[in-house]
Structure 1
Amino acid sequence: MSYTIEEKEGVLLFTLNRPERRNAINDELMEGFKEVIHYVHTHDTVRFLVITGSGEKAFCSGGDLAEFHSLVTEEQAFSMLSKMAEILYEWATLPIPTIALINGAAVGGGCEIATACDFRIIAREAKCGFIQGTLAITSGWGGATYLFERGLRHDRALKMLVDAQVYDSAQLEEVGFATKIYDGDKFVALDQFIEYMRKINPGVHRAYKEIEIRKWAEKNLKQRVMEEVAQCAKLWEADAHLEAVERFLAKSK
């Protein structure tokens, strides 16, 4: 199975389990996201949703180009991109706190997933980056839209996007992307992070999330996300992207 879902003491843990592919997203993992979202909406016992990656090297490397490289037209790209963008929008607007427990590299779409979470707890040795620009495309799951909503200073958020480089944990903390940097065991770090939250009535958490969700509704967040998807889809079918993907796949062999 390419993912696991486990609830324990109010924490729902969603683990991406494709370490041999650096936990890259494929159709099966997209279905896993849907399963998790449905679980949250149907189980009042869940207080926190945590996503992490299996293994020690990667949180998530984004979309699996080995599976998605056959998508070459704007229409084909939009179909895949919008599917994941819809999923991430549902994720971002869940009524409970969401936490990205980043155990390793979170790049491309993996960085977008982390950005869609409320909090990002990042291993000191981990790196994150919106590297889509190196493939001649933009973020395509709504990541840029969420990044500009996360309170980073505008110039720092924009530079993170246009640099298309990976940032180490110190840089991520400096620009405000990291909520917390941790050393050692990731689950110990998680327990420490939610220690005080656990003591608060979950109705309080849901009320504060609703405030954020109302703000996003007023600012047409979903429409802006889908416009971001459309822009990426246009770039996807361009020769510059198709050639960059071929170079990447050749290098990966």
Structure 2
Amino acid sequence: MSFSFEIEPTINGESIAYFRIMRPEMRNAVNYDVMSGLEEFLDRIEDDPEISFAVISGEGNLAFCSGGDLSDFHGFQTAEDAWPMLSRGAKILYRIATLPMPTIALINGAAVGGGCELATACDYRLVASHAKAGFIQGTLAITSGWGGATLLFEKNSPHDQLLQLTSRASVHSADKLKELGWATEVYNGDADAALDQFLAPMLKVHRNVHRAYKSIATRKWQANNLREAMQEEARVCSVLWESDAHHEAVQRFLTKNK
């Protein structure tokens, strides 16, 4: 199984939903099976009023998520080939971003490419001190394709630092991510303990309060046509996907990593 999810009650009667990518041998890269798992997870929790928080993580300590699995996706040659996968990814991230309950990315390792987009879709990002993250899609001559850059600019500031975060196509340390405002907190040691410590004060507040504040954000995003903007980001990526520059960059990457 390439993913798992569960809903666990807390001692004070709240419930927390957990989704974990379980492909450590592939650095928790997203393939079609993980996409289906995320959709199933979202179907299960979207309308459940008892859930206080949703947590997304990756198996192991090396990677939260290394983005899209090129072994599944590198065969796309044209914009038309790439569009269904990119559009589907953007729809999934939009659903994560607009869940009625707050979401937490528990970043226990590298979050790069689409993995950085996935984490950006969440409301909070708890980043292990050894972890690194970055919008590295530019190294493959494409942009982010699942709406992650749209979410980044919608949620965070300042503009110039965010533009560097995307356009330099490099990875950044946990401390730098905290400085940029992308990381909510940087933790040392056990990820589950860090999550418990982060959630403890918020679990003292009724879930309806958290949901009410979340709805304020989502109303703003809906007014700004966030869904359409994320789909446009996917469309732009699909156009770049069919370029010779992208195909050559992917071939170099696959050759280097054989």
Normalising by structure 2, we get a TM-score of: 0.96
Aligned to 1:218: 223
Matches within 5 A, 1:77-96: 77-96=82-101
- Per-residue Cα deviation, 1:132-186 (whole angstroms, up to 9, x for no partner): 0000000000010010012221011000001100000111011111000000000
Q: Does 1:3 align with 2:3?
A: yes
Instruction: Report the secondary structure of 2:51's partner residue.
Output: coil
Q: Conserved in 2, the CA contact under 8 Å of 1:112 and 1:130?
A: yes
- Per-residue Cα deviation, 1:188-241 (whole angstroms, up to 9, x for no partner): 100111111101111111111111111001111111111111110000000000
Q: State the alpha-carbon separation in 2 of the partners of residues 177 and 245 from structure 1.
A: 28
Aligned to 1:229: 234
Q: CA offset at residue 42 of structure 1?
A: 4.2
Between stretches 107-116 and 187-196, larger displacement belongs to: 187-196
Q: State the alpha-carbon separation in 1 of the partners of residues 208 and 60 from structure 2.
A: 34
Aligned to 1:199: 204
Aligned match for 1:166, one of 164, 171, 178: 171
Aligned to 1:59: 64
Instruction: Report the secondary structure of 2:46's partner residue.
Output: helix
Q: Conserved in 2, the CA contact under 8 Å of 1:14 and 1:50?
A: yes
Q: Give ranges in structure 1 of 5+ residues lacking alignment.
A: none
Q: State the alpha-carbon separation in 2 of the partners of residues 49 and 41 from structure 1.
A: 10
Q: Does 1:119 align with 2:113?
A: no
Matched residue count = 253
AA matched with 2:132: K
Aligned match for 2:254, one of 243, 249, 252: 249
Q: State the alpha-carbon separation in 1 of the partners of residues 146 and 48 from structure 2.
A: 27
Q: Conserved in 2, the CA contact under 8 Å of 1:152 and 1:177?
A: no
Q: State the alpha-carbon separation in 1 of the partners of residues 3 and 156 from structure 2.
A: 31
Aligned to 2:41: 36
What is the aligned-residue RMSD (CA, Å)? 0.8
Which segments of structure 1 move beyond 2 Å, counting only runs of 4 or more? 41-45
Between stretches 52-61 and 42-51, larger displacement belongs to: 42-51
Q: CA offset at residue 45 of structure 1?
A: 2.6
Q: Does 1:23 align with 2:25?
A: no
AA matched with 1:71: F
Q: State the alpha-carbon separation in 2 of the partners of residues 221 and 44 from structure 1.
A: 24
Aligned to 2:12: none
Aligned match for 2:162, one of 140, 157, 163: 157
Q: State the alpha-carbon separation in 1 of the partners of residues 136 and 46 from structure 2.
A: 33
Q: Does 1:76 align with 2:78?
A: no
Instruction: Report the secondary structure of 2:144's partner residue.
Output: coil
AA matched with 2:126: I
Q: Does 1:108 align with 2:113?
A: yes
* Percentage of identical aligned residues: 54
Instruction: Report the secondary structure of 2:111's partner residue.
Output: strand
Aligned to 1:129: 134
Q: CA offset at residue 44 of structure 1?
A: 2.8
AA matched with 1:5: F
Instruction: Report the secondary structure of 1:47's partner residue.
Output: strand
Aligned to 1:238: 243
Instruction: Report the secondary structure of 1:52's partner residue.
Output: strand
Instruction: Report the secondary structure of 2:101's partner residue.
Output: coil
Aligned to 2:153: 148
Q: State the alpha-carbon separation in 1 of the partners of residues 98 and 249 from structure 2.
A: 33
